[in-house]
Each structure stands twice: as structure tokens, then as C-alpha cells.
Structure 1
Amino acid sequence: MTAPLRVALADDQALVRAGLRALLENLGVVVAFEVDDGEALLAQLAETPVDVILSDIRMPGMDGIAMLRRLRERGDATPTLLLTTFDDDDLPLRAAEAGAQGFLLKDAAPEDLRDAIGRVAAGDSLLQPVSTDPVRARFRFRDDAPPVDTFNEREVAILRLLAGGYSNREIARSLFLAEGTVKNYVSVILDKLGTRDRTRAVLKAITLRVI
């Protein structure tokens, strides 16, 4: 029997946390702990590992974006879903740049939330379905050229991990490859996209719907 997924929940509103906890438990997801800001989440996560982090984006003190950047900086690749009530076109872009695997509005259907948790826990990315207009706008004036070649399944997998903020070492461990092999793949990806760094590669890959 498969063990239930364990999540960490961060939201500054107690009623929202209570509602999400009840919803998740009804969906068979275990809430390992809940906190009211990013600092508390970072501290608790060091002691209580989870499968997925569910965090509000807008919180007093350290918000979800800042928390995620700190998390990735310290080498923690726990899949993260950022939640918000604001349908802001710029938020998916900021979430992707910070290293989120997914972005959902809080009014998503319960089954969509459960599906999203399962998918990011399995290593998938939910950043493609959100609006990419801000990404396209950012590149339109300087880089809307298509890739010089198609991407194979392994290259797409690596691009998705790059979008999640994973380092070459973490990608190598995840895909059972040598770190040097991953570095070579990344170089090929950059060449195909005509970009000079990983961030631009991810943003352009989202723009072109490669991932």
C-alpha cells in the first residue's frame, strides 16, 4: 500500500489553513505541519521533511516567493506549490524564477489540488498551464526565435528540473546520471534555445511551451 503524501502548509490566515487542512485530509493527504509565514516554514522544514510544500505567496514577513528562494539557496529541492487568491499574470513568472514546481489559485477545485500535489511530488511541473503572456512579453522584443533543434525526452526532463531550481548535482542524482553528463545536456539545451544561461533557457522554454 502506498504511503499517503505528506505536505507542509504555510498561510498567514488561520481559517484558510484550517480549511486547507480539512480538505487535504479528506483527500488522503497528511499535513505534517502548518505555519503562518515563510521563516517558520524554513525552520520547521529543517526538522520535518515533507513530500510537497503548499505555501501562500502573499504573507506578512517572509512571503512565499522569498521563502522559496531561501529554500533553494540552501539546497533544499522539496517540490513546492505556491497558492494565491490573486489572478496576477506576473505571479506565475515570479514563481517559475524562484524555483516553484507549481502555481495554483486558491479557488481551484479540490480534485485539481490533489492532482497538483501528486504531480509535483512525482517530479512534474504545473507551470505550463498558467498564463505565459508575461514571459512572452519579456522575450518578444529580443528573442522569439524557435529552437534550432527539437528536444528529446531526457532534455525536457532536465529543463523541468532546471525550472524547479535544481542544481546539476541534484538533477544528476534525480535522473541517475553523472554530473558531467548533466552539464553536457545543459550546454546542449542552451545551444538549442540560443540562450546564454539557465534562467533565460527556462523562461524561453516556457514561452515556447517546451515545458
Structure 2
Amino acid sequence: MTGAPRIALVDDQALIRAGLRALLQQQGIEIVFEADSGEALLAQLPQQPVQLIVSDIRMPGMDGIQALQALRARGDATPCLFLTTFDESDLLLRATEAGAQGFLLKDAAPEDLRDAIDRIIAGHTLLQPVSTEPVRQRYRYHADDAPKELFSQKEVAVLRLMAGGYSNREIAGSLFLAEGTVKNYVSTILDKLDTRDRTRAVLKAITLRII
């Protein structure tokens, strides 16, 4: 990646924004602008484009998810990383359905936040930063949702790395496999879960207790 990552920082609490700004600037990240609400983000983003939106998920008025839905509705595909103090089952799925690329708890380590920013700007997604048990409890599956076949240990390992937002090349390096082999694993996983994309595959795998 060349140059400092350029982001928009969105949070209704000034002290939180100040803390995040100081932390991110220490890590070489450029804060192009700050917004204290979803409405402010919608107003500022067209004039000040960024590589990534880092936003609180819960705010008075228009919250982060509603703001992202409005952005996507007007054709703005700027990636979004949501931050929250809440580990709630519906937030991960709502954020993903709205078009978010990542979801991170605010108590994450600074290096995890920087890594998340770099990964999302590079085109990856981060889908499993919260506990998966509440997701499973709320979204119990029916018999006809079950996978077509059982998963091998290697397929589960690939799925877990997919949930972390890793690319096929990165998964290959991590598991000491050829990239083509990983591509075949991913295709098999999508087929077994009867899904067309990686995001839905990971969410369904969480729900079905595969990962």
C-alpha cells in the first residue's frame, strides 16, 4: 500500500473521536474529516472522498447502519468498518446486510484496528470479530438449511480464514497450500453451503456451528 490510509472518522462522542484520532494518527493514518452523526457523514463524504469510513455503529438520530444504507442507496461504495462497544447478535448481520466490510469491538487492540483498516482498504472483509454463539442462538437453522455434506478439517480451517477476511493467496500461505488448491476448497465450501459468495458462506457457517 502506498501513502497513508485516508479515512473518515464518525462518532457522536467528541472524546471518543479525539482518542481514536490520536491513536490512528500515531499509526500513520490520515483523518480526512470527522463527523458526529450519520447525517454529517452523508453531507461531507461527497466533498471529501476517503478510502475507508470508520464509524460508530450506534448514534443518536441516523445511526451508522442507516447512514451506510443511505450511502449504498445513492451508489457510494466506500468501504466501511464499524466500531461498537456492544457484542450483540444482530449487529454483525445487520452491518453485513447494509454493505459493511468489517465490524470490530472498541476494546480491540490498536494493532488489530490498524490491521483491520489495512485489510479492508486492500479489499478484504472482516466478518467474525464478535462471539458467534449469540448469532447461532438467534438464527437457528432448519433441516433443509443444513450443509449438503460434512466438512473436512482442512475446509473448516479455510472457512475460519475466510471469516478473518484473508484472500486465497493469504490462506494458501497460512495453510501451506497452492493458491489453486485453496480456490478449489472455496468453491467446494460454497457448494456445500449452497451460497454464491464468501460473505454469506461465512455467516451460514457460523449459524450452522461449522466454525
TM over 0.5: yes
Match of 1:109 in 2: 109
SS in 2 for 1:140: coil
Distance of 1:97 and 1:80 partners within structure 2: 12
Match of 1:145 in 2: 146
The alpha-carbon distance between structure 1 residues 45 and 74, as it changes in their structure 2 partners (threshold 3 A), is same
Q: Return the alpha-carbon distance in structure 1 between the equivalents of residues 7 and 17 of structure 2.
A: 12
Q: 1:144, CA displacement in angstroms?
A: 4.0
- 1: distance between equivalents of 2:7 and 2:99? 17
88-97 vs 73-82, which deviates more? 88-97
Partner of 1:130: 130
CA separation in 2, counterparts of 1:50 and 1:210?
A: 36
User: How far did residue 24 of structure 1 move?
Assistant: 0.5
Amino acid in the other structure paired with 2:142: F
Match of 2:46 in 1: 46
Q: Percent identity?
A: 69
TM-score (norm 1): 0.71
Determine if contact 1:7/1:33 at 8 Å carries over to the other structure.
yes
Q: Which amino acid aligns with 1:33?
A: F
Per the alignment, residue 12 of structure 2 pairs with 12
Distance 1:189 1:116, change over 3 A: same
Deviation digits for residues 68-113 of structure 1 (CA, Å, limit 9, x no counterpart):
1111111211111101112223221221121111111111111111
Larger CA deviation: 107-116 vs 194-203: 194-203
With normalisation by structure 2, the TM-score equals 0.71
Whole-Å separation in 1 of the counterparts to 2:111 and 2:189: 34
Gaps of 5+ in 1: 161-187
Deviations 1:117-166 (A, max 9, x none): 00111111111343333443414235441156999x9xx99xx8xxxxxx
For 1:8, give the aligned amino acid.
A
Unaligned runs of at least 5 residues, structure 2: 166-187
User: Residue 201 of structure 1: CA displacement?
Assistant: 6.1
Instruction: Give the RMSD, CA atoms, in angstroms.
Output: 3.3
Instruction: Quote the residue 2:118 is aligned against.
Output: 118
